Amino acid sequence: MTEKMHDFIAKMPKAELHLHIEGSFEPELMFAIAQRNKVQTKFDSVEAVKEAYNFNNLQDFLDIYYEGAQVLLEEEDFFDLTWAYMQRIHAQNVIHTEIFFDPQTHTDRGVAFAKVIDGISNALHKAKHELGISSRLIMCFLRHLEESEAEKTLEMALPFKDKIYGVGLDSSELGHPPSKFKNVFAKAIEEGFVTVAHAGEEGPAKYIWEALDLLHISRLDHGNRSLDDPKLMERLAAEKMALTVCPLSNLKLCVVDDLKDHPLRKLMQNELKVTVNSDDPSYFGGYMNENFWAITDALDLSKDELYTLSRNAFEASFVSDKRKKEMIELLDNYFA
């Protein structure tokens, strides 16, 4: 890519819609917090942590990701984690972000739900005031655990309803279809949450149908496997369903062997509302700019395509029409 294009992407106003806050945990911060909390992990140096970041599939990654999250104990830890992410994306011209967090990863270790949510929320509040970044929080249920566990988590979250906009579904996809969670998602909708779900990352197109029909999702996380099913693609296009695609994640988790074979453009050509996101940036080799650079390079994306991708994210964000309009205006001015 030319230096000019590289720079153009870096300065382009962007929104991120698929980011796991625990996946933004940089090894240096992980190590500092482990020492502060006197928590022993299986890594004895920052280099050892980095060396472990070699994955063959989603489960390989998740094992390491849950290991790293063990060092998070206090409200301050969740604040520091979130604030570090917000500063990084500020430097990349991300003006809006929608953040997943996995409460069960923490509450199952005895960390109070309040510490998790307050730490994250305080950092988001600071970022809104000091950096001008708007945000939403989405609580994910871990799909390798039982639905009854997700139901307990939803109960725990109700006192903090004002801080959580939606619920999602993540962790090990194969063998844990969306149908397993249809009751808890119905309850979440009754409580006023919007719903999203990871589907079609490693799992089949059938899981995407289930996410649509049983979990009533407003956005589809990943959704790469939609391409296997023409009827599904028609449905997604007709509903203007946004897909939160994560190029570097797909590469690192071997969902694609080469970014040149990434389905992003094919999905766009089928009129799907595709967005670009980082997923777990500290584990997969980059934040928003690195994802945009990599996929632009691999597929030789045009400026028109970049505009569409960025605009899709603003349109698909869970914010007021006023904020959407404001962000799209910034994008339009940038391209003008």
CA angle 120, 122, 123 (to 5 degrees): 65
CB 327 to ligand ADE: min, Å: 25
Binding flag, residue 198, ligand ADE (CB under 6 A): yes
User: How far apart, in whole angstroms, are the C-alpha atoms of residue 41 and residue 208?
Assistant: 36
CB 53 to ligand ADE: min, Å: 13
Residues 141/177, Cβ–Cβ less than 8 Å = no
Our CB check for ligand ADE shows the closer of 14 and 198 to be: 198
Binding flag, residue 16, Zn ion (CB under 5 A): no
Catalytic residue IDs: 201
Our CB check for ligand ADE shows the closer of 219 and 311 to be: 219
Our CB check for ligand ADE shows the closer of 13 and 177 to be: 177
Binding flag, residue 171, ligand ADE (CB under 6 A): yes
Binding flag, residue 98, Zn ion (CB under 5 A): no
Binding partner selected for residue 58 from ligand ADE, Zn ion, none, CB under the kind-specific 5 to 8 Å limit: ligand ADE
Q: And the tokens for 271?
A: 């009129």
Binding flag, residue 279, Zn ion (CB under 5 A): yes
CB 206 to ligand ADE: min, Å: 17
Which single residue is written with the structure tokens 């997943």? 100
Mention every residue, 6+ apart, whose C-beta is less than 8 A from residue 184: 141, 147, 150, 151, 154
CB 100 to ligand ADE: min, Å: 7
User: How far apart, in whole angstroms, are the C-alpha atoms of residue 208 and residue 244?
Assistant: 13
Binding-site size, ligand ADE (CB under 6 A): 10
Q: What are phi and psi of 284, to 5 degrees?
A: -110, 5
Binding flag, residue 279, ligand ADE (CB under 6 A): yes
Binding flag, residue 98, ligand ADE (CB under 6 A): no
Our CB check for ligand ADE shows the closer of 277 and 310 to be: 277
Residue 172 Rama label (left phi>0; alpha psi -120 to 50; beta): beta
The residue nearest ligand ADE at its CB is 170
User: How far apart, in whole angstroms, are the C-alpha atoms of residue 165 and residue 195?
Assistant: 9
CA angle 162, 166, 216 (to 5 degrees): 140
Our CB check for ligand ADE shows the closer of 22 and 75 to be: 22
Binding flag, residue 286, ligand ADE (CB under 6 A): no
Binding partner selected for residue 23 from Zn ion, ligand ADE, none, CB under the kind-specific 5 to 8 Å limit: ligand ADE
Within 43-162, residue ranges assigned H as helices are 46-51, 58-69, 75-90, 103-107, 113-131, 147-157
Residue 37 DSSP label: T
User: How far apart, in whole angstroms, are the C-alpha atoms of residue 109 and residue 112?
Assistant: 9
Positions in the binding site for ligand ADE (CB under 6 A) = 20, 23, 58, 170-171, 198, 201, 249, 279-280
